Amino acid sequence: MSQITRCPSCATTFKVVADQLRISDGWVRCGQCKEVFDASEHLLQPEPAPLLPEMPLDDPGPPEGHAADAPQPQDKPVAANDTEEGRAKNRRIDFVVK
């Protein structure tokens, strides 16, 4: 897993991995200013990932033509289930193709 460190000299941030830090005892060279520093002392804390995507409060909802606009299937039988004909009417799948 990569981590992010910041050069104390020029404030450039870059990724380092644990194997790099272990092999070099934490020492790295900044690619921007060429300063050598202990990256493990300058690791940045990762920002937590948002639980939900950013959405404006005045969001109008899904765009036109979204699946939410499609007619929803009925959840009740359209005919009585006491006859074969009624059961056959209730065996249905509604597809909406646009």
15: in domain: yes
pLDDT of residue 74: 66
**pLDDT score recorded for residue 72:** 66
Q: pLDDT of 4-49, one tens digit each?
A: 999 999 999 999 999 989 999 999 999 999 999 999 999 998 777 7
Q: Band of the pLDDT at 53, cuts 50, 70, 90? A: confident
**Dist. CA 18–CA 14, nearest whole Å:** 13
Q: Is residue 98 part of a domain?
A: no
Residue 54 falls within a domain, yes or no?
Answer: no
Residue 25: inside a domain: yes
More confident residue, 93 or 13: 13
Report which secondary-structure segment, H or E, holds 18.
Answer: helix 18-23
Specify the pLDDT at position 52: 74
18, part of any domain: yes
∠ Cα 25 31 36 (to 5°): 40
Residue 9 confidence (pLDDT)? 95
Distance CA 11, CA 45 (A): 15
Q: Is residue 87 part of a domain?
A: no
Q: Does residue 82 lie within any of the structural domains?
A: no
Q: What is the pLDDT of residues 55-86, one digit of tens each?
A: 677 767 777 777 666 666 667 778 888 898 88
The number of folded domains in the chain is 1
Instruction: Look up the domain containing 7 and give its range.
Output: 2-42
Give the integer Cα–Cα distance in Å for 50 and 25: 33
CA distance 50 to 64: 27
